[in-house]
């Protein structure tokens, strides 16, 4: 098969498009013929290298996979060759695309237990935007963050994968959403997609804006996977008793903080990691039944993965970037 291979950790120049041995299914696995694979910031971290998470090289990243079943392991039941599927990339043996060979390729081996049926009317392109972004947001907002109708939620990085999923889930359950992003164009799209208020944090202090938009009471829930310099101002934007949710740190994992806000306002800082089969399956159902509509701003053929990753690094996209093998 052909694959986009990370030959060694480092820059985009380390990605090559080349032949790679076809995977064969283990007894409980299937091999999926990839119809589309969504890009995540994780793919950039896997290529650059993450302290404490060595990835064996050469490697194929890509965890957001949609396609058809190409072959079945001997013990697999309930699935057939040709079935349309997407999947939960978090397996019992590690994460597909981070610890196990991923889907930025023509074929990928996955455990049958991780498959989710994809209805005929959901295109692969749309499905490849669901598992990681919506699965992560689903767990973070509901299992960890206990977000409810009528609450006010501030989302930073609202134009990216997890960010847009958080905005859409927030609106779906009847929360008031303040979406913060890095350009007027991104803010305009977020408003079109239903955000109640938008803040361009390149021009405006998002913390002050959120404080004023809530009548100087603060937000019930803050979603911050950016970290870095955004962390302390996020705490300042929360109300007394508010919840500050984090699932990542795109701009730095050891930010300066301000403990005064945590104790004076009795904030709950809640971490969220990964997602379950149920988080992915219910996200797929919400899309299939029309309650959520993922946004794909750019698509590329797989051989142009480097260009796609550069676009993500430069923050020139909205929602999701999807690759086609
Ligand atoms: N723990 C988990 O299970 C889990 C799962 C999924 C993702 N994550 C983490 O969540 C974060 C977001 O992932 P994603 O795939 O949604 O990323 P993404 O699609 O690239 O979105 C990140 C957004 O953050 C904003 N941003 C602010 N500062 C940035 C910076 N210094 N560099 C890049 N973007 C910056 C950008 O929007 P603007 O240009 O509008 O500012 C960008 O669109 C990552 O840190 C990822 O590792 C964690």
Mean pLDDT over 164-173 rounds to 98
214 CA from centroid of ligand 1 (Å): 25
DSSP H/E element including 242: strand 238-246
d(CA 105, CA 112): 18
**What pLDDT sits at residue 30?**
98
Written as six digits, the tokens of 267 are 């904030």
79 CA from centroid of ligand 1 (Å): 34
Instruction: Using most ligand atoms within 8 A of CB, pick from 162, 229, 245 the residue to mutate for ligand 1.
Output: 162
pLDDT tens, position by position, 69-119:
999 999 999 999 999 999 999 999 999 999 999 999 999 999 999 999 999
Nearest to 224 by CA among 274, 160, 293: 160
Q: For residues 250 and 310, state if they share a domain.
A: no
Q: For residues 259 and 207, state if they share a domain.
A: yes
254, with CB counted inside 10 A (0-12, 13-18, 19+), is: exposed
226 CA from centroid of ligand 1 (Å): 6
Note whether residue 237 is domain-resident: yes
Residue ranges of alpha helices (H) inside the chain are 41-48, 124-127, 131-138, 161-172, 184-192, 206-213, 231-236, 259-264, 277-288, 305-313
Q: Which atom of ligand 1 sits closest to the CA of residue 139?
A: 3
pLDDT at 179 over 90: yes
157 CA from centroid of ligand 1 (Å): 6
Instruction: Using most ligand atoms within 8 A of CB, pick from 37, 41, 166 the residue to mutate for ligand 1.
Output: 41
Q: For residues 16 and 114, state if they share a domain.
A: yes
Structural domain including 98 reads 2-129+295-324
pLDDT tens, position by position, 16-47:
999 999 999 999 999 999 999 999 999 999 99
Mean pLDDT over 299-313 rounds to 98
Q: For residues 49 and 147, state if they share a domain.
A: no
Q: For residues 18 and 115, state if they share a domain.
A: yes
User: Residue 289 — very low, low, confident or very high, per pLDDT cuts 50/70/90?
Assistant: very high
Note whether residue 277 is domain-resident: no
Which residue's CA is minimally distant from atom 21 of ligand 1? 160
DSSP letters spanning 70-120: EEE-TT--S--TT-EEEE--EETTEEBTTTB--SSBSEEEEEGGGEEE--T
Note whether residue 288 is domain-resident: no
pLDDT at 51 over 90: no
d(CA 201, CA 183): 8
Q: For residues 242 and 150, state if they share a domain.
A: yes
50-64, 124-138, 272-286: the lowest-pLDDT one: 50-64
**pTM value?**
0.98
**What pLDDT sits at residue 109?**
98
Mean pLDDT over 202-221 rounds to 98
Nearest to 178 by CA among 222, 231, 239: 222
Q: For residues 50 and 123, state if they share a domain.
A: yes
**What pLDDT sits at residue 53?**
86
d(CA 63, CA 76): 21
d(CA 246, CA 306): 28
**Residues 24, 32 contacting (CB under 8 angstroms):** no
Q: Which atom of ligand 1 sits closest to the CA of residue 275?
A: 3
Note whether residue 66 is domain-resident: yes
**Residues 177, 167 contacting (CB under 8 angstroms):** yes
156 CA from centroid of ligand 1 (Å): 9
In the chain, what's the furthest Cα-to-Cα distance?
62
Q: For residues 24 and 144, state if they share a domain.
A: no
Q: Which atom of ligand 1 sits closest to the CA of residue 313?
A: 33
Note whether residue 68 is domain-resident: yes
Residues sharing a CB contact under 8 Å with residue 232, sequence separation 6 or more, in sequence order: 255, 256, 257, 258, 261
The pocket around ligand 1, CB under 6 angstroms, is made up of 40-42, 132-133, 136, 157, 159-163, 181-182, 186, 225-226, 247-251, 273-274, 312, 315
Written as six digits, the tokens of 260 are 């005064």
**What pLDDT sits at residue 52?**
87
Mean pLDDT over 177-200 rounds to 98
User: Residue 252 — very low, low, confident or very high, per pLDDT cuts 50/70/90?
Assistant: very high
Average pLDDT, the chain: 98
Q: For residues 100 and 146, state if they share a domain.
A: no
The sign of the CA dihedral 231, 234, 240, 241 is negative
13 CA from centroid of ligand 1 (Å): 22
42 CA from centroid of ligand 1 (Å): 9
Rounded (5°) CA angle 131-175-250: 45
Note whether residue 95 is domain-resident: yes
Domain count, the chain: 2
Q: For residues 259 and 196, state if they share a domain.
A: yes
- The CATH number of whichever domain residue 313 belongs to comes to 3.90.180.10
């Amino acid at each position: 098969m052909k694959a986009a291979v990370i030959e060694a950790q480092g820059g985009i120049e380390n990605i090559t498009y080349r032949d790679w041995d076809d995977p064969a299914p283990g007894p409980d696995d299937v091999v999926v013929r990839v119809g589309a694979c969504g890009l995540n910031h994780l793919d950039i971290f896997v290529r650059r290298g993450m302290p404490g998470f060595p990835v064996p090289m050469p490697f194929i990243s890509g965890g957001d996979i949609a396609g058809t079943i190409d072959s079945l392991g001997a013990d697999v039941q309930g699935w057939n060759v040709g079935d349309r599927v997407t999947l939960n990339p978090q397996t019992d043996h590690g994460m597909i695309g981070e610890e196990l060979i991923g889907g930025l390729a023509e074929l990928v081996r996955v455990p049958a237990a991780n498959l989710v049926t994809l209805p005929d009317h959901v295109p692969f392109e749309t499905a490849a935007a669901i598992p990681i972004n919506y699965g992560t947001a689903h767990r973070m907002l509901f299992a960890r963050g206990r977000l409810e109708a009528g609450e006010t939620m501030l989302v930073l990085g609202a134009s990216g994968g997890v960010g847009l999923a958080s905005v859409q889930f927030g609106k779906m359950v009847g929360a008031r959403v303040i979406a913060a992003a890095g350009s007027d164009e991104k803010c305009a799209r977020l408003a079109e997609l239903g955000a109640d208020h938008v803040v361009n944090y390149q021009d405006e202090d998002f913390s002050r804006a959120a404080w004023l938009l809530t009548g100087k009471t603060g937000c019930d829930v803050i979603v911050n996977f950016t970290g870095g310099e955004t962390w302390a101002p996020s705490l300042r934007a929360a109300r007394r008793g508010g919840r500050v949710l984090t699932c990542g740190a795109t701009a730095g994992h050891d930010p300066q903080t301000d403990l005064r806000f945590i104790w004076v306002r009795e904030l709950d800082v809640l971490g969220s990691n990964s997602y379950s089969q149920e988080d992915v399956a219910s996200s797929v159902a919400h899309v299939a039944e029309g309650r959520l509509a993922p946004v794909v701003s750019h698509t590329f053929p797989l051989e142009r993965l480097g260009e796609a990753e550069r676009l993500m690094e430069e923050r020139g996209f909205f929602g999701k970037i999807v690759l086609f093998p």
